[in-house]
């Protein structure tokens, strides 16, 4: 058969995405499938069932990463891999992560039903805890698999209720027997929604990022002095929330101060005891700094850190700072990025060479093997929200680009 004519089944891809979107569906059309939750387990169970239906050999490793392997005609060659994640943000969308997993599954189904043989074996993967929202940091399981993060460090991470990653992994039945340790990989492609406004703004169908920004995460803990809000004079208060408020605005101003090329965000905050008539005495908040330039991001942090310490000292709210995670920027393999652009052109889709501001497991895979990503437009540039949406025709287009990138790469010598 002329493989250049081969196409994935867009209707089947849509049905798979719709089935997955029922797991953890939220009232406003999104999904909440936090990592290692009951919903994550249900999505994994369905995914594994679908892998087995097309005769893929399923392996689950000690981080709960799920792999499905399709043999190659030269089966001892390193596999070509593709996948993403099935976990979501709280009140997240129906496409982030799951599109890359269902897209790769749709490619595998297409190869299976057409009895296509490839030289290299092919593997599909669902990485555990890409989001890092329940357990920081993000992309932790591709990080362990790649040999960058420690397994026991990951197991010991706790969520806001004190539950441990390792215990939750066992609880949902996905602590597998295989070691979470990299093997030689020929190439990795991750298919994903863009999560930003560029493709839609420029009316392009396919995005080929040249790489991913660095992600630097910090956790800030402030201690104040609680007291009755009525009788306590304004002078002399040690209000941890007011200190945090100043710090949040300092974070928001940081990119301007650094002359751009950076984004900085406080996205999560806990305030104690969180009562309207008690002066807050304990605040935790997060800082997320991203840039293409790691040194620039670190320099920005050094400036911000001094500001945070100054604010804490002035307000009498002792500060503890954890430098939680630094994932360096990931410049992808130019040959594969070009292949994504070329393949889009061959299939008749417009394309854009761009950059990924969102983090992806492709960042850690980039440290293991040649890596690239395929993006499709996010309607309104919205993501990590319930209204996150992508046209079905674009979902199909991206999966066709993935199919042909994988076919070309899996036949390489
Ligand atoms: C992952 O979703 C990230 O970009 O934070
Ligand atoms: Mn994602
Ligand atoms: Mn995400």
CATH number for the domain spanning 244: value is: 3.30.70.360
- Structural domain range at position 300: 217-327
My answer on whether 66 and 106 are in the same domain is: yes
My answer on whether 63 and 34 are in the same domain is: yes
My answer on whether 251 and 287 are in the same domain is: yes
Quote the pTM value. 0.97
Do 45 and 20 touch, CB atoms closer than 8 A? no
- Which runs of consecutive H residues, i.e. helices, occur in 93-215? 98-113, 140-145, 151-155, 165-171, 198-201
**Separation of 118 CA from ligand 1 center, angstroms?**
33
My answer on whether 320 and 336 are in the same domain is: no
Q: Which of 93, 359, 373 to mutate to test the pocket of ligand 1 (most atoms within 8 A of CB)?
A: 359
For β-strands 187-193 and 371-376, DSSP reports them as parallel
Q: Which of 277, 300, 327 is the last residue of a domain?
A: 327
Do 192 and 363 touch, CB atoms closer than 8 A? no
Count of Cβ atoms closer than 10 Å to residue 274 Cβ: 11
Which atom of ligand 1 lies at the shortest distance from residue 89's CA? 2
My answer on whether 198 and 247 are in the same domain is: no
Q: Which of 327, 345, 363 is the last residue of a domain?
A: 327
My answer on whether 257 and 270 are in the same domain is: yes
Question: Whose alpha carbon is nearest atom 3 of ligand 1?
Answer: 359
The fraction of the chain above a pLDDT of 90, given in percent, is 100
Q: Looking at the 3D structure of the chain, how many domains does it have?
A: 2
- What average pLDDT does the chain have? 98
My answer on whether 178 and 230 are in the same domain is: no
Q: Is the pLDDT of residue 102 over 90?
A: yes
Reported confidence tier of residue 1, pLDDT bands at 50, 70, 90: confident
**Separation of 96 CA from ligand 3 center, angstroms?**
6
Do 226 and 218 touch, CB atoms closer than 8 A? no
Do 273 and 309 touch, CB atoms closer than 8 A? no
Question: Whose alpha carbon is nearest atom 2 of ligand 1?
Answer: 131
Give how far Cα 108 sits from Cα of 69, 94, 373, 383, Å: 10, 21, 18, 27
My answer on whether 205 and 318 are in the same domain is: no
359 Cβ inside 6 Å of ligand 1: yes
Task: Supply 353's token pair.
Answer: 């060479």
Q: What is the pLDDT of residues 256-300, one digit of tens each?
A: 999 999 999 999 999 999 999 999 999 999 999 999 999 999 999
361 Cβ inside 6 Å of ligand 1: no
My answer on whether 198 and 233 are in the same domain is: no
Q: Is the pLDDT of residue 398 over 90?
A: yes
My answer on whether 302 and 343 are in the same domain is: no
Ligand 2 (ion): residues with CB under 5 Å are 96-97
Q: Is the pLDDT of residue 157 over 90?
A: yes
My answer on whether 170 and 232 are in the same domain is: no
136 Cβ inside 6 Å of ligand 1: no
Rounded to an integer, the average pLDDT of 54-68 is 98
**Separation of 9 CA from ligand 2 center, angstroms?**
23
My answer on whether 278 and 343 are in the same domain is: no
* Cα 276 to Cα 375: distance, rounded to the nearest angstrom: 45
Q: Which of 311, 327, 343 is the last residue of a domain?
A: 327
Question: Whose alpha carbon is nearest atom 5 of ligand 1?
Answer: 359
Reported confidence tier of residue 413, pLDDT bands at 50, 70, 90: confident
What's the CATH code of the domain at 129?
A: 3.40.630.10
Do 127 and 359 touch, CB atoms closer than 8 A? no
Q: Is the pLDDT of residue 86 over 90?
A: yes
Which atom of ligand 1 lies at the shortest distance from residue 358's CA? 4
**Separation of 170 CA from ligand 3 center, angstroms?**
24
């Amino acid at each position: 058969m002329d493989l250049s004519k081969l196409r994935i089944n867009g209707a089947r891809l849509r049905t798979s995405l719709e089935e997955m979107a029922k797991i953890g569906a939220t009232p406003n059309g999104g999904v909440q499938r936090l990592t290692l939750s009951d919903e994550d387990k249900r999505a994994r169970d369905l995914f594994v069932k679908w892998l087995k239906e097309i005769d893929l050999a399923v392996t689950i490793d000690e981080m709960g990463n799920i792999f499905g392997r399709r043999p190659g005609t030269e089966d001892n060659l390193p596999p070509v891999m593709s996948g993403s994640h099935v976990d979501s943000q709280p009140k997240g969308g129906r496409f982030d992560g799951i599109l890359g997993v269902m897209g790769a599954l749709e490619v595998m189904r297409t190869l299976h039903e057409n009895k296509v043989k490839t030289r290299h074996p092919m593997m599909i993967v669902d990485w555990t805890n890409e989001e890092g929202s329940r357990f920081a940091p993000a992309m932790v399981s591709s990080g362990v698999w790649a040999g960058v993060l420690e397994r026991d460090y990951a197991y010991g991470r706790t969520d806001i209720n004190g539950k441990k990653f390792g215990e939750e992994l066992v609880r949902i039945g996905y602590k597998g027997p295989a070691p979470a340790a990299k093997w030689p990989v020929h190439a990795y492609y991750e298919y994903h929604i863009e999560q930003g406004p560029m493709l839609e703004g420029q009316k392009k169908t396919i995005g080929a990022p040249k790489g991913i920004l660095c992600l630097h995460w910090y956790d800030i803990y402030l201690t104040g002095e609680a007291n009755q809000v009525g009788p306590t004079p304004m002078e002399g208060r040690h209000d941890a929330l007011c200190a945090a408020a100043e710090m949040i605005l300092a974070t928001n101003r940081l990119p301007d101060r650094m002359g751009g090329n950076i984004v900085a965000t406080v996205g999560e905050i806990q305030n104690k005891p969180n009562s309207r008539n008690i002066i807050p005495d304990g605040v935790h908040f997060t800082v997320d700094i991203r840039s293409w330039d790691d040194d620039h991001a670190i320099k920005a942090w050094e400036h911000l850190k001094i500001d945070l310490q100054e604010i804490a000292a002035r307000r009498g709210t002792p500060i503890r700072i954890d430098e939680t995670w630094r994932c360096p920027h990931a410049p992808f393999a130019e040959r594969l990025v070009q292949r994504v652009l070329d393949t889009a052109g061959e299939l008749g889709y417009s394309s854009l060479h761009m950059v990924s501001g969102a983090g992806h497991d492709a960042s850690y895979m980039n440290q293991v093997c040649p890596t690239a990503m395929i993006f499709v437009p996010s309607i309104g540039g919205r993501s990590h929200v319930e209204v996150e949406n992508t046209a079905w025709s674009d979902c199909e287009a991206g999966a066709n680009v993935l199919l042909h990138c994988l076919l070309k790469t899996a036949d390489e010598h």
